[in-house]
Structure 1
Amino acid sequence: MSSVAVILAAGNGKRMKSKLPKVLHPVIGEPMVLHVVEALKGAGIEKIIAVLGYGAGQVEEVLQGQADFVYQNEQLGTGHALLQALPKLMEYGGGECLVVCGDTPLLAGETLVQLRQEHLDKNAKATILTAMMEDPTGYGRIVKEKGRVVSIIEEKDAPPEVLCLKEINTGAYCFDIEWLKNGLNQLKPVNAQGEYYLTDVISYLVSEKQMVATWTVQDPFEAMGVNNRVQLAEAHARLKRQILREHMLNGVTIVDPASTFIGPWVEIAQDVVLEPGVILEGKTIIEEDCTIGPWTRITDCRIGRGTQVRQSILSESSTGEECQIGPYSYMRPGCILESNVKVGGFVEVKKSHVDQGAKIPHLSYVGDSQVGKNVNIGAGTITCNYDGKNKYPTIFEDHCFVGS
């Protein structure tokens, strides 16, 4: 697989009506540009160049360590954006490169593999990822003669006979790098917007009688760009359904999919039951035979086999096997529960280690504490360990009984 790709992520996304850069708006809990990065990694990409512009500093923070950065200081079109990446591309040598947009979170790695394979099979200098749309409004149209690509015409520049075409440009390409360089160096802002269009590289290649191929994605929604909040919600809903379906096919019972949210990095074992209103986020791991919910939120936690969590919030913590949590428990970051621990109703635990068989059944606060084996902390107990300046640990040794 080609090891180089460019993500175009410089636009400000005016239609989002937001100060947040468009590519950082979250889809199923993650900035949409990270979904694009994951698709590229899934396609075997090793080196990624991100073209940044509006909100560059914010985007850098999200992509740090995952991409090299180049900058488009003026928003002069997609061709101008890719031109900023050309020196870095040439450093990586010849061959092919993928070009994708940072606002296409539904794009799959397998589709990019197929795109490049078509590029190689056809010995093309450029291959366009296209889609067939019943309503192609907003997209550039693919113009062909006798099955061969002639040009891509942006909607705002298209005459009526082109607007009726259904095959659209998704904004993803595979290019021969040398021919891409030649095409970019020929670009001129001759369109209605005064911009340098990447699509004009295709016209250049056609004029040079070079092969331009297409690969049509099977699911047109995969190519959907996110340009406003409505499309953001549509992308979220589609990815959410896809993730839930995969977990159910892998042996997870989801009682009410409509009210259940599972993030993209969550791992769930077989025979887990998710009741209505469950939210699982971050790098959460749920081991087998657990029952989660109803109305429970778990973020970046590991939940041990056979544990029950009801109507509770857990964050950056872990449990052993056969624990009982809830209802209305709050486990804050840094909690470690060993096996057969009970954290009951209206209990808050923070940055504490609770050993095997211990119970905190109800109405208690336990923070910065070591709770020994088989300890029973009765109702109304609090660990008051802050003197206004320093926090001190509280230690309950094995088999203690504390509280009412």
Structure 2
Amino acid sequence: MDNAVILAGGAGKRMNSEKPKVLLEVLGKPMLSWVTDACEDAGIERICVVKGHAADQIDKYLDGKFETVYQPERLGTGHAVMCAREFLEANIEGNTFIACGDAPFTDFKTIHAALEFHKLSDCAVTVITAEVSNPYGYGRIVHTQSGIAIVEEKDCTEEQRRISEISSGCYWFRTKDLLSVLPKLDRNNAQNEYYLTDTVRILSAEGKKTAAFKTDNPDAVLGANDRRGLLRLNDIARIRVIEKHLSNGIEFITTDGIVISPDVTIKGGTRILPGTILSGKTEIGAGCVIGPNTRLENTVVGDGSIMDNVVANGAYVGNHVKVGPFVQLRPAARICDFASVGDFVEIKNSVIGEGTAVAHLTYVGDSDIGKNVNFGCGTVTVNYDGTNKAKCVVKDNAFIGCNTNLIAPVTIGEAAYTAAGSTVTKDIPDGALAIERSDLHIINGYAVKKLTRHLEKGKKLIGK
């Protein structure tokens, strides 16, 4: 069984954030999650996260999914791996992948291919490298007869500075060799830190095989040290994700204002309009139109549906549904097939049945709405008494008149009607009409008298 150790102890001071650096987001997903997902996708079963700065936030985010160890002092990458010694000793028969938690473009294909190379080459350590056009600031990979060496920028000769193959900061180690070399690291350097890069030199000097695996993904080396760098990562990731969807038959008329998280799935033939933000585990079916100005988070949309100027979080929208414009779907809103939800409507924790129309200016909360129901303009389910929530049930084929207040808990029977302006406080039987209105009183001449008083008052003011 293979291991992974993810280095996530850095503070990222230049980010000016209360969050640890690895929890800052690229396309709405923490950088740490990009890396751990890549490790899992590559088939690595045992993952340990080395935490340091704001360790409690990392614990809260991971919620026990992976093992963690604490690095009490930030004494370098080598020291971070030393902190995971017990984790490594629990499974020494295999290999260990080391990666930085703030390198979101470390991809599973590279991780897996590098491991296969590492095993076939019988290496003690394999460094994942990349060829880049501007290697400034990165450690250069120098190939020698005995293996490889990593030379840091400040230590490079002029000839070495021209080398364009750089270290990604990711390694595959034979776990036994990693455990044997860690005690041999020292802090005799300008930074007074334990460098993980020194393991390559030490293992090579011991006659053990060291090699480089060059990825065809040059973005794998990218990280961010400040907000500008983080913005750059977001820009690169945004276009990469859009290009992936273009290849899968998704239509974009422009990329302006479109942000799609990497875990979002979209089926072919769907059209994404400007100003659309899709995040979390959102799933979009085939032949949909999403946008403009739509934000969907952890929301499922079926085939052939339209989402126009919609904000949805934790919602489900069925097939051939029209939602919008200007609609909010809050968690546990479920809109069934062929329903329509129109402008200025909010739905929360409710089922809207098949073929039901909630056309405009309506709030539906904590309700179970049947099939082919019609909601008139201005309907409100009054579900909260200041302490507790209560449920409304509207059965199939009911008709809710304009400006109806449904005071929960209440049930509207099948094919029942409510008259416009009614406040319904009792259950309505199937097929019945509920009408609740006070008498209309007409006071003749009232408006004329009121206008006369205003005119007289105005004349007095002018006279002053």
Specify if TM > 0.5: yes
Structure 2 match to 1:205: 203
Tell me the CA shift for residue 384 of structure 1: 2.0
Amino acid at match of 1:398: D
Amino acid at match of 2:338: N
Structure 1 match to 2:82: 83
Tell me the CA shift for residue 22 of structure 1: 0.6
Q: How does 1:297-308 map to 2 (within 5 A)?
A: 297-308=295-306
CA separation of 1:18 and 1:208: change in aligned 2, threshold 3 A: same
SS of residue in 2 equivalent to 1:18: coil
Q: How does 1:227-306 map to 2 (within 5 A)?
A: 227-306=225-304
TM-score (norm 2): 0.83
Distance (Å, rounded) in 2 between the aligned partners of 1:145 and 1:322: 63
The count of corresponding residues between Structure 1 and Structure 2 is 402
Amino acid at match of 2:117: E
Distance (Å, rounded) in 2 between the aligned partners of 1:398 and 1:120: 64
Say if 2:309 and 2:327, in contact at 8 Å, map to a contact too.
Answer: yes
Structure 2 match to 1:224: 222
Tell me the CA shift for residue 63 of structure 1: 2.4
Distance (Å, rounded) in 1 between the aligned partners of 2:234 and 2:22: 14
Does the alignment pair 1:103 with 2:102? yes
Structure 2 match to 1:134: 133
Structure 1 match to 2:7: 8
Structure 2 match to 1:356: 354
Q: Sequence identity, in percent?
A: 38
Distance (Å, rounded) in 1 between the aligned partners of 2:283 and 2:133: 40
Say if 2:348 and 2:364, in contact at 8 Å, map to a contact too.
Answer: yes
Structure 2 match to 1:398: 396
Does the alignment pair 1:114 with 2:113? yes
Tell me the CA shift for residue 147 of structure 1: 8.0
Distance (Å, rounded) in 1 between the aligned partners of 2:134 and 2:65: 35
Structure 2 match to 1:67: 66
Does the alignment pair 1:27 with 2:26? yes
Say if 1:254 and 1:260, in contact at 8 Å, map to a contact too.
Answer: no
Amino acid at match of 1:348: E
Tell me the CA shift for residue 23 of structure 1: 0.5
SS of residue in 2 equivalent to 1:61: helix
SS of residue in 2 equivalent to 1:257: coil
SS of residue in 2 equivalent to 1:213: strand
Structure 2 match to 1:331: 329
Tell me the CA shift for residue 372 of structure 1: 2.4
Say if 1:157 and 1:191, in contact at 8 Å, map to a contact too.
Answer: no
CA separation of 1:92 and 1:146: change in aligned 2, threshold 3 A: closer
Deviations 1:203-237 (A, max 9, x none): 11122122110111223222112222222122222
Tell me the CA shift for residue 402 of structure 1: 2.0
Amino acid at match of 1:326: G
Tell me the CA shift for residue 44 of structure 1: 1.2
Distance (Å, rounded) in 1 between the aligned partners of 2:124 and 2:155: 25
Range with bigger deviation, 136-145 or 45-54: 136-145
Structure 2 match to 1:183: 181
Deviations 1:29-62 (A, max 9, x none): 1110111011111211010111111111111222
Say if 1:187 and 1:197, in contact at 8 Å, map to a contact too.
Answer: yes
Distance (Å, rounded) in 2 between the aligned partners of 1:367 and 1:169: 55
Structure 2 match to 1:316: 314
Say if 1:341 and 1:355, in contact at 8 Å, map to a contact too.
Answer: yes
- Rg larger in structure: 2
Say if 1:48 and 1:66, in contact at 8 Å, map to a contact too.
Answer: no
Amino acid at match of 1:127: T
Range with bigger deviation, 374-383 or 151-160: 151-160
SS of residue in 2 equivalent to 1:247: helix
Distance (Å, rounded) in 2 between the aligned partners of 1:250 and 1:132: 28
Say if 1:12 and 1:21, in contact at 8 Å, map to a contact too.
Answer: yes
Deviations 1:238-268 (A, max 9, x none): 2222222222222221222232222222221
Amino acid at match of 1:6: V
SS of residue in 2 equivalent to 1:237: helix
Distance (Å, rounded) in 2 between the aligned partners of 1:233 and 1:40: 24
TM-score (norm 1): 0.94
Please list every run of 5 or more consecutive structure 1 residues that lacks an aligned counterpart in the other structure. Answer: none
Please list every run of 5 or more consecutive structure 2 residues that lacks an aligned counterpart in the other structure. Answer: 403-464
Distance (Å, rounded) in 1 between the aligned partners of 2:15 and 2:292: 34
Deviations 1:282-313 (A, max 9, x none): 11122222211111111112212221111111
Say if 2:32 and 2:104, in contact at 8 Å, map to a contact too.
Answer: yes
Amino acid at match of 1:334: A
Tell me the CA shift for residue 72 of structure 1: 0.9
Amino acid at match of 1:31: P
SS of residue in 1 equivalent to 2:359: strand
SS of residue in 2 equivalent to 1:170: strand
Distance (Å, rounded) in 2 between the aligned partners of 1:109 and 1:280: 23
Say if 1:157 and 1:192, in contact at 8 Å, map to a contact too.
Answer: no
Say if 2:147 and 2:204, in contact at 8 Å, map to a contact too.
Answer: no
RMSD (CA atoms) = 1.8
Amino acid at match of 1:274: I
Asked which structure has the greater RCO (Cα within 8 Å, sep 6+), the reply is 1
Distance (Å, rounded) in 2 between the aligned partners of 1:388 and 1:206: 71
Distance (Å, rounded) in 2 between the aligned partners of 1:14 and 1:387: 47
Structure 2 match to 1:367: 365
SS of residue in 1 equivalent to 2:319: coil
Amino acid at match of 1:245: E
